[in-house]
Amino acid sequence: MSEEIKDNFEKGIFWELYLDLERQFLNFLEYVPYLPGNETVYSFKLLNLILSIGGHIDSAFKEMARYPEFSNNIECQEILKILRKSEKRKEEEKSPISVPIKLPLKAFEKEYRLSERRVIFKRLPNREELVPFKIDNAKDSDTNMPEWWNIYNGLKHDVGINIVQANLQNTLNALAVAFLINVRHIPAAKRLCAYGILKGGIRTEEGYAKARFDITPYIFEQILKSKQSHYPAFVETSIFVHFF
223 compared with 178, residue with greater pLDDT: 178
Strand bridging mode 128-130 / 119-121: antiparallel
Report the amino acid identity of residue 128: E
Report the amino acid identity of residue 136: D
pLDDT the model gives residue 170: 97
Query: For residue 124, is pLDDT > 50?
Result: yes
pLDDT the model gives residue 39: 95
Residue 224 pLDDT level (bands cut at 50, 70, 90): low
Return d(Cα 167, Cα 156) in angstroms, integer.
14
Residue 225 pLDDT level (bands cut at 50, 70, 90): low
Of the CA atoms within 13 Å of residue 209, those in its CB half-sphere come to: 22
Distances (CA, A) of 202 to 118, 195, 199, 206: 17, 20, 10, 11
Query: For residue 103, is pLDDT > 50?
Result: yes
67 compared with 244, residue with greater pLDDT: 67
Report CA torsion sign: 114, 10, 150, 129: positive
pLDDT the model gives residue 204: 67
Lowest-pLDDT range of 161-170, 199-208, 234-243? 199-208
pLDDT the model gives residue 92: 86
125 compared with 150, residue with greater pLDDT: 150
Lowest-pLDDT range of 9-13, 111-115, 153-157, 194-198? 194-198
By three-state DSSP, how is residue 72 classified? coil
Query: For residue 202, is pLDDT > 60?
Result: yes
pLDDT tens-digit series, residues 19-74: 999 999 999 999 999 998 999 999 999 999 999 999 999 999 999 999 999 999 99
